[in-house]
Amino acid sequence: MDSLQRYAPIIERIEALARSRGLSFDPVYFRLTDSDEIAEVASMGLPNRFIHWYWGGAYKELVAQQNKELFSILELVLNTRPSHAFLRAGNTYLQNVLVIAHVFGHLDFFKNNHWYRKSNKNMLNEAELHARLIRRYEGKHGREKVEALLDALLTVATTVNAFERDPDVRRRRLIYFLEERAPLEDYERHLLQSVREEAEYFDLIQRTHIINEGWATFVEAELLREILDPQEWVSISVQLSSRPAPYTIGYSLFKAIRDGRGFDAALDARTYYEDVMLIQDALTEELIRRLDIFVYDPKEKQKSYDVQRVRDMLIDQKEHKGQPHVEVEVGHHRDLTLVHRDEERKLEAKRIALFLRAVHSLWRNPVRLRANGKVYSFDRRGFSST
Amino acid sequence: MVPLRIHRARIAQYKHDQLLREYLKQNLNELIQQKELVIDGRVKTQIATLDLPTLRYGEEATVLAQGKGAAGGDGTRGGRDGGEEEVQALGGLLGGDHHGRELRVELDFDEFVRLAQEVLLEEIHLPPLHLSAAAGEVESEDMPELDDLDRIGLRPDLNLEETMLQSLLRSVRERGMLDYDVDLRQDGWYFIEDPTTYRNHRSLEVYVLDISGSMRGEYLALVRKTIFVLWYYLERRYPTNLRRYVVFQDVATEKVRDDFFCVESSGGTHISTGFEKAMALLEGTTEYDKFLFLFTDGETSSGDFDLAKRRYEEALRRFDLICYGHVNPGGRGVGGFSEYVHEHARRHPNATFANLVDVETIRAAMGDFLTILTREQSRGLAAALRADH
């Protein structure tokens, strides 16, 4: 097995080169490990997070994809202080050199991006604390009860918004409303807060996925151009443009900024932007065509490359994690009413009852959802729609 | 010393598997009746409840997408057929943890069979089979050192040449180095021959299934459940048995395993063709234990009745054991060709008959089918089955 020592000189060289280009970082520990551990961390989000069947399903899916060589994770880096970066022992030396350069791009982003500066760099410890807390509550209140509660909490946790500070706006998002108003016992509210904190940590990562991966790929390319010999560089530059969409979209946007306004403008974008701002500023019709991104209507089998539609759709994905935009109709009522704000797009009907049952298990009073031109309800008699 | 690592994701996976098992338990009947049970090695499932029940857009909602030729996609699923060219839905431009993504359960056929066996054994109250090791054998998790090409040792069935080649290929693939670094778990290559041409003294199991028009729904469910339970015992006792599969209606054809579980029921019934095809599979083989498992509702065409009788008797001479399963979910009695076999089986030592009415009768069928097998082949299995009878 490769030893980490082998990579020490190149890590040092890449770091020095990155600093000379104006980048800066918090300390990082590199770790050489196997695909299995990387799949484990990737599926759980953090290595020591609480155990839940959902991560188990994600892990199984990842391992199956890796075994079939359909997909493999080459690198993984955590936004913590100090940061931890995982290199896959099965990678070739050259692949890991790429990964190291890419990791320094992420590290620079973690330290300097305006939104990341506010993020919780102590999440490893907090996740451990949450995991222990959950174990303790399982002992005290029963595993089945705690697991059912976690299922419901994880279902509503996708409504977090790590960027929103206005309490009135936040309250329209389901999880914050439930935290404030749901008749929960103390331990239940405590678990809700734990799940919400972790979800906010990941929300930031999700809302900056394109800019973060784009910047890391951009830095990787900038640094490797100087490090690799021309032949190696040619093969790498081809590879850079065939990566998953967030990498290629983000990379193209940064290249467009640098080519139009210079390297310092790219540095400014990495400092002040998140995905929505980057998309609004740099995504042009020409880029949309080149990247072949479009809004697709499966009913009509039609594509639209209209720049505004594509931008809006991208931004909507960022705002709501690609999930339907459902808001709480705030008021001091016993019944909780949720409204789907994009009536044109229909919701998958068979999930609605299960979703409302989860919300009802937290709200404990009748819950309603206005969507698909109907009103769906869940109360103690069960599910109904009108 | 290697530091102890707690595999939290594996514990989580165990929890996920438990839910999957529960789902299977509740839906086994529905799943197992699917006409096409296996597609590309996987079993079709509709397990919405194994995902977190977050809200999602319906299939017809507009999506953000990318042409498949453009880049590597986003690593997530969600491809849609866009007509002339393929369109990849860009559902996951998110990163972070997996939370919020749709989790698809892909159940491969072997895993499905394993879970179904667990569920069935519990439902039918059949004993699990634990074969005790022969005297002096010990079990160990450790892998033996592989330091020469000596074929005598702990792993006499290891194909060393192939194993070294696999190790080399893996090393080149993963590390770009021409280096032998054998890891038996990854590179271990054992002697596996082409089952259709291989001649040795392994036993042969031939499964023959009637797929005429009436054999669908509950009929198929009963047959498949019976086969899964049979496999449970047979593959533990005889892990090297060869298996071959035949389906018949008016004519009979040999199928590979996955296709055997994806049959379209139609046409008339000529049981004679099933026996004929099964016997044809014996040509040129030297196996000394030849077992035939045939499943039918017994309603062969009237013109085929006499021929089927002759073929059955011929098959009795050529197979060491014929297990005939009369598939009869309504419990309407045993008539037609099955009635003849039922009578005959009482007199003939290597013929058995089972009337498959419901899952409870699978238990009785195992007793009928396997005690003869075990009387001839394995006292261990007989004891295991008898212990619970």
Q: What is the pLDDT of residue B92?
A: 46
* pLDDT digits 0-9 by tens, B16-47: 888 887 887 788 888 888 777 777 777 776 65
* Helix%, strand%, coil% for chain A, nearest 5: 60, 10, 25
Asked if residue B234 lies in contact with residue B214, where contact means CB atoms within 8 angstroms, the answer is no
Q: What would the pLDDT profile of A214-238 be if each residue is shown by its tens digit?
A: 999 999 999 999 998 888 888 887 7
Q: Which of residues 346-365 of A touch B (CB under 8 A)?
A: 346-352, 354-355, 357-358
CB B174 within 8 A of CB B190: no
What radius of gyration, in Å, describes the C-alpha atoms of chain A? 23
Q: Which residues pair with B63 in a beta bridge?
A: A296
Say whether A104 sits in a helix, a strand or coil. helix
Say whether residue A291 is in contact with chain B using an 8 A CB cutoff.
Answer: yes
| Domain positions in chain B | 147-192, 204-388
- Candidates B174, B173, B246; CA nearest to B205 is B246
Amino acid at A286: E
Angle at B175 between CA B173 and CA B176, to 5 degrees: 70
Identity at A57, one-letter amino acid code? G
Cis? peptide before A82, omega within 30° of 0: yes
Put simply, the answer to whether B55 touches A347 (Cβ < 8 Å) is yes
pLDDT for res A108: 97
- The reported pLDDT for the residue numbered A99 is 92
Q: Is B154 helix (H, G, I), strand (E, B) or coil?
A: coil
CB-CB neighbors (< 8 A) of A235 in chain B:
none
Range of the domain at A164: 123-207
Does A317 touch chain B if contact means CB atoms closer than 8 Å? yes
Q: Do A206 and B95 touch (CB under 8 A)?
A: yes
- Max mean pLDDT among A297-301, B51-55, B337-341 falls in B337-341
Q: Does the ipTM surpass 0.95?
A: no
Q: By CA distance, what is B46's nearest residue in A?
A: A350
Q: Quick one: A215 and A308 in the same domain?
A: yes
Same domain, A148 and A203: yes
Adjacent-strand bridge partners of B66: A293, B88
pLDDT band at residue B129 under the 50/70/90 scheme: low
Q: What span, in angstroms and rounded, lies between the C-alpha atoms of B345 and B322? A: 9
Spell out a b/e string for B17-30, using b for 16 or more CB atoms within 10 Å of the CB, else e.
Answer: bebbbebbeeebee
Report d(CA B298, CA B308) in Å as an integer.
10
The verdict on A231 and A312 lying in the same domain is yes
Q: How crowded is residue A29: how many other Cβ atoms within 10 Å of its Cβ? A: 12
Looking at the fold, whether A165 and A217 belong to one and the same domain comes out as no
Asked whether the beta carbons of residue B64 and residue A313 sit closer than 8 angstroms, the reply is: yes
| A13 and A64 assigned to the same domain | yes
Q: Is B13 on the interface with A (CB under 8 A)?
A: yes
Cα-based distances in Å from A243 to A77, A250, B72: 17, 11, 5
Question: Distance (Å, rounded) from C-alpha B184 to C-alpha B167?
Answer: 9
Q: What is the DSSP string of A10-79?
A: HHHHHHHHHHHTT-----EEEEEE-HHHHHHHHHHSSTTPPP-HHHHHHHHHHHHHHHTTS----EEEE-
* B69 part of contact set with chain A, CB < 8 Å: yes
A112 contacts chain B (CB < 8 A): no
pLDDT, residue A337, reads 96
| pLDDT the model gives residue B3 | 57
Closest of B17, B101, B105, B9 to residue A41, by C-alpha: B9
Query: Which domain-ending residue is among A207, A223, A256?
Result: A207
List the single range of A150-154, A293-297, B136-140, B293-297 with lowest mean pLDDT.
B136-140
pLDDT of residue B150: 36
Mean pLDDT of B40-56: 73
A228 and A273 share a domain?
yes
pLDDT score recorded for residue B68: 66
pTM of the model: 0.74
Domain-embedded: residue A151: yes
Q: Are residues A229 and A160 in the same domain?
A: no
Question: Tell me, what's the pLDDT at B340?
Answer: 92
Nearest CB partner across the interface for B54, out of A243, A248, A323: A323
Give the pLDDT of residue B336: 83
Token pair 């395993």 is at which residue? B257
By CA distance, what is B93's nearest residue in A?
Answer: A246
The pLDDT value recorded for residue B40 is: 75
Residue type, B239: P
CB contact under 8 Å between A324 and B83, yes or no, is no
Q: Residues 326-355, chain B: which have Cβ within 8 Å of A? A: none
To which residue do tokens 């509740």 refer? B26
Q: How far apart are CA A110 and CA A114, in angstroms?
A: 9
Residues A133, A80 share a domain: no
Total count of residues recorded for chain A: 386
Q: What is the pLDDT of residue B288?
A: 65
Mark yes or no for CB contact A347/B70 under 8 Å. no
Q: How many whole angstroms separate alpha carbon A303 and alpha carbon B87?
A: 10
Q: Are residues A180 and A156 in the same domain?
A: yes
Beta strands in B7-138 (DSSP E): 38-39, 42-43, 63-67, 79-81, 86-89, 107-108
| Nearest partner of B287 among B243, B333, B327, B221, judged by Cα | B243
Same domain, A348 and A305: no
Q: Are A347 and B9 an interchain contact pair (Cβ–Cβ within 8 Å)?
A: no
Q: How far is Cα of residue A303 from the mean position of the Cα atoms in its chain?
A: 27
Distance CA B89, CA A133 (A): 38
- Spans of chain A, pLDDT less than 50: 1
Please give the average per-residue pLDDT across B78-104, as a whole number: 51
CB A28 within 8 A of CB A4: no
The alpha carbon dihedral of B61, B62, B68, B73 has a sign of: negative
Q: Using alpha carbons only, how large is chain B's radius of gyration in Å?
A: 25
Question: Where does residue A23 rank: exposed (0-12), middle (13-18), buried (19+ CB within 10 A)?
Answer: buried
Give a yes or no: residue A196 inside a domain: yes
Q: Please count the structural domains in chain A.
A: 4
The mean pLDDT of chain B is 75
Q: What is the CB-side half-sphere exposure of residue A263 using CA atoms within 13 A?
A: 6
Least confidently predicted of A21-30, B117-126, B268-277: B117-126
Going from the C-alpha of A161 to that of each of A177, A198, A212, A269, the distances in angstroms are: 12, 12, 18, 22
Inter-chain CB proximity B93 and A242 less than 8 Å: no
pLDDT, one tens digit per residue, over B146-200 is 444 333 334 445 667 777 887 888 787 777 777 777 777 667 666 544 444 444 4
Q: Cα(A210)–Cα(A276) distance, rounded to whole angstroms? A: 9
First-residue to last-residue Cα distance in chain B: 50
Closest CA to A241 of A292, A278, A281: A292
Confidence of residue B71 (pLDDT cuts 50, 70, 90): very low
User: For residue A273, which amino acid is it?
Assistant: Y
CATH number, domain B204-388: 3.40.50.410
For position B166, what pLDDT does the model report?
Answer: 77
Q: Are residues A76 and A153 in the same domain?
A: no
- Rounded Cα–Cα distance for residues B323 and B346 (Å): 12
- Answer yes or no: do A203 and B96 touch at CB < 8 A: yes
Sheet bearing A83-88, strands edge to edge: A28-33, A83-88, A75-78
Residue of B nearest to A302 (CA): B82
Residue B354: which H helix or E strand, with range? strand B351-356
Nearest CA distance, B114 vs chain A (angstrom): 16
Q: Give the Cα separation of A108 and A24 in Å (integer).
A: 5
